[in-house]
Amino acid sequence: MIDKMRKNMKFIFWIVVICFVGMIVFSWGMRISGTKAKPTSLGKVNGVEIRYRESQEFLRQAYQQEKQRSGTEPDIVRLREQAWNDIVQQILLSQAVEQEKIAVSNSELVAQMRHNPPQLVRQQKAFQDSSGNFNLALYHRFLDDPVTYNNSNTKEFLLFLEQDLFRSIQLQKLYNRILGTVKVTDPELREYYTDQNEKVKVSYIFADPELFRDNEMKIDQQEIEIYYDQHQEEFGEEEKRRCQFVGWEKKPSAADEEAIRIEAEAVAAELREGADFSGTAQERSDDRPTASKGGDLGWLGQGEMGEPFKKLEKVAFALKTGQISDPIRTPSGWHIIKLVARKKEAGKEKIRASHILFKVEPSQETIESLRKKTEAFISDAQEEGFETAAKARGLESKETGFFSKDAYIPGIGRARSLSDFAFKSQLGAISPFYQNRTGFWVLQLQEKKKAGIKPLEEVTADIRRKLEEEHRRQMASEKIEKAAGELKKGTLLENGAKSVSLEIKTAGPFSRSEYLPDIGTKNQFVSTAFRLQPGETSGIVSTERGYYIIKVLEKQYIDEKDFQVQKDAIRTKLLPQRQYEAYSAWLANLKQKARIVDNRHYFYSE
């Protein structure tokens, strides 16, 4: 068994790496920095440093996993935020484990390691039988082999595995303490069952403000001004900034294009000389979803590849079975096509093809060249002026318009460092360069706007729309009030509806938890319907959608015997939800009380 492990040292190495990344956050527990100088760490959680280098390794692993899973380029900003939140959470959990003094005995650790190893172990081929199933006996043989503990790599792997399992057991005990008091009470069970099973059927009149959408609403300027004066709190705005900016798009150079073309031609030559197409696709293709299948595109009919790939399709259909094409350029990059098979289906020809894609992306040299251009521009702009330097380089200077702190910057996106620059700098200041996935950017601060009330001319259109909506609701309200007046005279609901030209509708039987067209869910309409008894008619019921008068036609009460039968099943269903809610609330409280220092803006430009 140990010989097999030795032959597979690459597998052991990656297990160790993954275990290291998984446990990295716990090793930070004792690294407390006392410096108050310029931050050298990404942040702190209750004094515990989040080291930049270690967080980058954590992020790199997340990036690779996401790219392999989706087959597309991950959103690095989203991944970075997710990685930060995960790391903060793991540190908080590690600290909670220490505070709770949660112990793990040797017998618990040994039992977990021998009888319940993690998925990381179970998915390794060295511990699987010929059918690919985890074989506990093979794993035990590895654990019981003395040679395992004399080999430095396997010994290191087991030490990491011990640490990982030790922490897992601690965390499970912590969870059990938090969730141990969570219960689902009998009143909660009855409420849930009632919400699902008690039902009513109703008829109703609905006065919808949308009925008056085509009516001309005369809103004069005086009415707008009165609303503006009386609702100043609605028009407050934060401090804002306005900038001008120039940008350099990240796009491949002619040299980048040529390098990828040459690479594709070299690979095509290797394939014609006998290299395995499927294996090469798995290793080299940038189309990850098809790469995992050896580049297989499946069966294709003419016209199915779409206009951007018309040339690719034409080449594929012209190939002979088994033939490999020259590299073909499409908007996606350079493709190598292999025709696998042909067939006729419903009188039409179809082919099965595989491909290898080489995306054309900016090289590191191209990115470095752009960076140097931005630095040169900044230097010249500081001496000559922003506009002069931009014109000298043929760059278009654009306006951001006003934006709030940490908000989306028009033309660029969300950029923490640029927002910090704009809100901390003096007028005319020129920013350091900012880099994101699409390009490099440089800003100059043009104007500052203090926090205050938006001017009337800026909000006039919004006020007009709001007043028009209020007028429509008023018209709907007057219509339903006329119908209600008729009902007070003893008129039937149907006649009351007819008197104001409204349709009488029915709904149900429905439960409290259902969604109803024209009505919605869990609102005043629903609660009123369940309060009424069969034959009773409501007064006017107002919701966000409009105004109603409801009459209950029938009511279905719960079956007490069925409730008693269903109680345990409902409890089983609700308990995980209640536990999740309790754990989420506990974790949110833990995070709220924590002293978290976030220095990410010193390290990341977005």
Per-residue model confidence as pLDDT tens digits over 245-287 = 999 999 999 999 999 999 999 999 999 999 999 999 999 999 8
For the cut 50, the answer to whether the pLDDT of residue 5 exceeds it is no
| Lookup: tokens for 294 | 């050896």
For the cut 80, the answer to whether the pLDDT of residue 8 exceeds it is no
User: Hey, which CATH number is domain 199-234+458-556, 1.10.1760, 1.10.10, 3.10.450, 3.10.50?
Assistant: 3.10.50
Through-space distance between the first and last CA atoms of the chain, rounded to whole angstroms = 49
Kindly state the average pLDDT of the residues 296-325. 89
Kindly state the average pLDDT of the residues 369-385. 94
Q: Which residue has the higher pLDDT, 74 or 420?
A: 420
CA 132, 137, 138, 143 torsion: positive or negative? positive
Q: Binning pLDDT at 50, 70 and 90, where does residue 2 land?
A: very low
Q: Tell me if the pTM is above 0.85.
A: no
**Which pLDDT belongs to residue 12?**
37
Q: Binning pLDDT at 50, 70 and 90, where does residue 30 land?
A: very low
Q: Which residue has the higher pLDDT, 379 or 120?
A: 379
Type of residue found at 392: A
Q: Are 39 and 50 in contact (CB under 8 A)?
A: no
CATH 3.20.20.70 is right for the domain spanning 254-358: no
Q: Are 536 and 492 in contact (CB under 8 A)?
A: no
**Which pLDDT belongs to residue 227?**
94
What is the Cβ-side half-sphere exposure of residue 78, based on CA atoms within 13 angstroms? 4
Helix locations, 116-235, DSSP H: 119-122, 136-144, 152-179, 186-197, 221-230
Q: Are 386 and 430 in contact (CB under 8 A)?
A: yes
Could you tell me which residues come within 8 angstroms of residue 17 by beta carbon, excluding any fewer than 6 positions away? none
Q: Binning pLDDT at 50, 70 and 90, where does residue 605 land?
A: low
Q: 509: cis peptide before it, omega within 30°?
A: yes
**Which pLDDT belongs to residue 15?**
39
Alpha carbon distance 350, 370 (integer Å): 46
**Which pLDDT belongs to residue 240?**
94
Q: Write the CA distances from 4 to 8, 126, 268, integer angstroms.
A: 6, 7, 35
Segments making up each domain of the chain, as ranges: 2-179+596-602, 199-234+458-556, 239-251+364-450, 254-358
Q: What are the strands of the beta sheet with 596-598, ordered from one edge?
A: 48-50, 43-45, 596-598
Q: What are the strands of the beta sheet with 199-207, ordered from one edge?
A: 504-510, 199-207, 547-556, 537-542
For the cut 60, the answer to whether the pLDDT of residue 532 exceeds it is yes
Give me the chain's average pLDDT, please: 87
Kindly state the average pLDDT of the residues 336-343. 94
**Which pLDDT belongs to residue 436?**
83
**Which pLDDT belongs to residue 164?**
87
Weakest-pLDDT range from 8-22, 90-104, 300-314: 8-22
Q: What is the pLDDT of residues 94-140, one digit of tens each?
A: 999 999 999 999 999 999 989 988 888 888 888 888 888 999 999 89
Alpha carbon distance 523, 454 (integer Å): 34
CATH 3.10.50.40 is right for the domain spanning 239-251+364-450: yes
**Which pLDDT belongs to residue 150?**
87
Domains 199-234+458-556 and 254-358 share a fold: yes
Secondary structure E strands in 208-313: 236-237, 240-249, 296-301
Q: Which residue has the higher pLDDT, 187 or 23?
A: 187
